[in-house]
Structure 1
Amino acid sequence: MSNNNDIRHRFEQAFMPNYGVPPVALARGEGTRVWDVDGRQYLDFVGGIAVSSLGHAHPALVEAVSRQVATIAHTSNLFLHEPEVLLAERLLGLLGAPGRVFLANSGTEANEAAYKLALKYGRREGRGYFVAAENGFHGRTIGALSLTGKQSIRDQFGPFPVDVRFVPYGDASALKEAVSGDCIAVFLEPTQGEAGVVPPPDGYLVAAREICDATGALLVADEIQSAIGRTGHWFAHQADGFLPDILTLAKGLGGGLPIGACIGFGEAGTLFDKGDHGSTFGGNPVACAAALAVLDHLDLDHVKAAGARLRSGLEAIDHPLLKGVRGRGLWLATVLSEPRSAEVQRAAAAAGFLVNALQPDAVRLAPPLVVTDGEIDALVAAFPAILTEAAQ
């Protein structure tokens, strides 16, 4: 097998430069541990960006995917298969509310489905604009990017096909002022992921629900990163005691296999007519089998306990570069006093830990949801030295 430097060079020659050149070429994984092509071992506290819910090579996931791919791997949407029906039923059961499901391949596709649902509603009702949050992230396709409030990745691809008005995240007064009877929908993340794992103030999401109810706007909860146990609940919005009109899922749902879901509740679940939307690969039998295995083997009590242990351990660290810790469950950001997250990521990798420089002053920790107490304690013990190295 090629070494790390060689494969990075080949990557640079073969791929478009939108990712730059990632620093590590991974070869295999087991549980929460991964190995690069040079044989170096790391504890994975990135989890494929909150995707690898059961870790790497989990026996149940391997068995479910292997069994399904040996049975039938693809049907298209011209035919039914039971795994997709089982998955839709399972998701609705966990949500505890009547709804309808559309299965896609990714988070941005799930948000595209939500966007189209909302557009159909808005045009039927004569409504004209969307509201979303500053620094929110909903995907990189044009529809999802229209709703993304991050100027650095958005502005160069405009103008966009719809009017989207951005308000500060967490400011209920600004949201109320922006949402009128002409608003189609409000798109919000229950915790902003790519902005730096930023939770909302208490009561903000319930206020958003009330504002939408009062004006007739749809409320769309983008839980691409926050759902499927990541925060200690099946869905992050459940902790805040509200139900959106439309919910989008992806990332951790497939445990590493590509799958997304858009779920409409009540009237929003029946807005699409036959032919309004589709996906050749959406609801693929292998991806659905993987998702069912994830739902069967996640332990929410473990996630809550492990998340509390990780947070308390990090909060106990007294270091001038560590300003604080924020997030929920096993989805945290260490907030830095200086913009040195890239240096923290490099120092952590040198020490045998994979973390993610999410924002200049925020480092994301999203380990597999099966991470052990010992693995958490190992990161916490190593983190002061990592911060010292990064500060130099």
Structure 2
Amino acid sequence: MTDYPDVLHRAAPGSAQNWQQRYESSLMGVFGTPADLLVSGRGCWVTDSQGRELLDMLGGIAVNALGHAHPALTAGLTEQLQRMGHISNLFTSVPQMRLAEMLLAAAQAPEGSSVFFANSGSEANEAALKAVLRHRRSTGKTRILALEGGFHGRTSGALSLTHKPAFREPFGDLIPGVEFLPVNDGEALERAFVADDVAGLFLEPIQGEAGVKPLQRDYLLAARELTRGSGALLVLDEVQTGIGRTGEWFRFQGVQRGVTGASGGSADGEAADLTPDLMTLAKGLGSGFPIGALVAFGAQHSALLGAGQHGSTFGGNPLAAVAGQITLETIEKEGLLPHVHQVGSRIAEGLRSMDAVSDVRQYGLHIGIDLDPEAFSSQTPAKAVVVQAREHHGLILNATGDHTLRLAPPLILTAEEADLFLNRFQNSCKDLAS
């Protein structure tokens, strides 16, 4: 029998220079050189190649909902892999059907609703875009709307909906007919629908890449009313906000019942219907295992993509479906939705007491932090804090702008870990104080 090398242990060379050289000589430079080499993780903690333990307040960018090496996930995936890892979509499996049923139930989707499984958020948005293009062709409506500051992915179609010019311009013309509207500008939104030629509107309920910036409730409800009245499709991109990240199964559910603030408690507005026509999911859905999903609400929208009009070799395979099923089951079993509100509020309260912080936007464990420029000597304090926190205080953070940080830790983050983060974060800021 062939002797296979122990690749798990070979992955961690003894020096930073070695692994950086290996990376740069073998991988495309689309991400630049990584900040560190991580070799293991457990719960909300990861260990790097030098043996340092870091508190992961980014969670793989809102992916590791159950943290690292959650026992339910590792046991369930091992069992499923021993049984059956992959089948073609000429067949189905119980995990695939069960996960679809669970998502539809969590979304309170009406009869006739359905799910398409993909491998990522970009692919889920590609599927949604193809559904909108089908609708555009059948209705003759020509325009597709998205928002400034929005991010929907980097594949060609999803990139067409992503606003940042630096992401799009290197690739020239993409999907024609896409227009970008200013965020939370109700008048601009109304003007966009005057001509009655809009095929679809893509929205993130909270713009994550822009720094955890929410769409106002009135704006979202106006978008639902305008799209429904004109026959345009409303697509909600819940890739970052879905699967418990904001303390709700999906962000739109909290908004429609009037919970727009951070506490997740009593509603501050009348209940309203914000049910989208299409919703995209990924990131936390598989707790680290690649999976995305398009949810179509109602039979009419389920029929937008028919047999042979879309597909995915790996989408909805038994392993991915089991990962999603275990994620949803564990969130329910461990009471993580109310927990997310409680721990998130604890973090926000601590951050707001810090002199170096000028603003906090907190929705469950989806948290944006604006740093006070006057408190730092650096012109780009967010990036400086990320490095300082990682190198000297054992924290993993993410900068989305010169003065803005994003937190998206595992949903299992404890109150004690939240307090530890606050202490380490404050010390990181003090180290860089002007």
TM-score by length of 2: 0.88
Deviations 1:161-206 (A, max 9, x none): 3211111111121111112421110000000011111112232111
Residue in 1 aligned with 2:342?
Answer: 305
Residue in 1 aligned with 2:259?
Answer: none
Q: Which amino acid aligns with 1:21?
A: T
Is the aligned partner of 1:380 residue 2:422?
A: yes
Superposition map of 1:30-179 within 5 A = 30-98=42-110, 99-179=113-193
SS at match of 1:359: coil
Is the aligned partner of 1:203 residue 2:245?
A: no
Is the aligned partner of 1:243 residue 2:275?
A: yes
State the shift of 1:327 in Å: 3.3
State the shift of 1:390 in Å: 3.3
State the shift of 1:391 in Å: 4.0
Deviates more, 1:200-209 or 1:120-129: 200-209
Candidates 358, 361, 368, aligned match of 1:323:
358
State the shift of 1:388 in Å: 2.3
Deviates more, 1:205-214 or 1:366-375: 205-214
State the shift of 1:305 in Å: 0.6
Is the aligned partner of 1:2 residue 2:13?
A: yes
Candidates 342, 345, 361, aligned match of 2:386:
345
Could you list the runs of 4 or more consecutive aligned residues of structure 1 that deviate by over 4 angstroms after TM superposition? Answer: none
Whole-Å separation in 2 of the counterparts to 1:360 and 1:369: 27
State the shift of 1:5 in Å: 3.1
Q: Which runs of 5 or more residues in structure 2 are unaligned?
A: 1-11, 257-273, 374-379
Q: Which runs of 5 or more residues in structure 1 are unaligned?
A: none
Deviates more, 1:152-161 or 1:242-251: 152-161
Whole-Å separation in 2 of the counterparts to 1:205 and 1:66: 42
1:390–1:154 Cα change, 3 Å: farther
Residues 144 and 200 in structure 2, CA contact (< 8 A), matched pair in contact too:
yes
Is the aligned partner of 1:255 residue 2:267?
A: no
Whole-Å separation in 1 of the counterparts to 2:35 and 2:109: 44
State the shift of 1:383 in Å: 1.9
Residues 190 and 236 in structure 1, CA contact (< 8 A), matched pair in contact too:
yes
Is the aligned partner of 1:189 residue 2:214?
A: no
Whole-Å separation in 2 of the counterparts to 1:213 and 1:71: 45
Residue in 1 aligned with 2:9?
Answer: none
Residues 282 and 291 in structure 2, CA contact (< 8 A), matched pair in contact too:
yes
Residue in 1 aligned with 2:230?
Answer: 215
Residues 257 and 290 in structure 1, CA contact (< 8 A), matched pair in contact too:
yes
Q: Aligned residues: percent identity?
A: 45
State the shift of 1:8 in Å: 1.8
Is the aligned partner of 1:224 residue 2:239?
A: yes
Residue in 2 aligned with 1:370?
Answer: 412
Is the aligned partner of 1:332 residue 2:367?
A: yes
Residues 85 and 317 in structure 2, CA contact (< 8 A), matched pair in contact too:
yes
Whole-Å separation in 2 of the counterparts to 1:143 and 1:231: 27
Residue in 1 aligned with 2:269?
Answer: none
Deviations 1:299-341 (A, max 9, x none): 211111111111111111123xx21111311010111233321
Deviations 1:103-142 (A, max 9, x none): 0000000000000001101110111010100010000011
Whole-Å separation in 2 of the counterparts to 1:363 and 1:391: 16
CA RMSD of aligned residues (A): 1.1
SS at match of 2:50: coil
Deviates more, 1:207-216 or 1:85-94: 207-216
SS at match of 1:123: helix
Residues 251 and 260 in structure 1, CA contact (< 8 A), matched pair in contact too:
yes
Deviations 1:205-261 (A, max 9, x none): 111101111211110000011100000000001011111100000000000000000
TM-score by length of 1: 0.97
Residue in 2 aligned with 1:361?
Answer: 403
Q: Which amino acid aligns with 2:338?
A: D
Residues 100 and 270 in structure 1, CA contact (< 8 A), matched pair in contact too:
no
Residue in 2 aligned with 1:290?
Answer: 323
Deviations 1:342-370 (A, max 9, x none): 10100110210110112222111111000
Residue in 1 aligned with 2:262?
Answer: none
Is the aligned partner of 1:28 residue 2:40?
A: yes
Candidates 314, 322, 338, aligned match of 2:351:
314
SS at match of 2:39: strand
Residues 258 and 287 in structure 1, CA contact (< 8 A), matched pair in contact too:
yes
Q: Which amino acid aligns with 1:235?
A: F
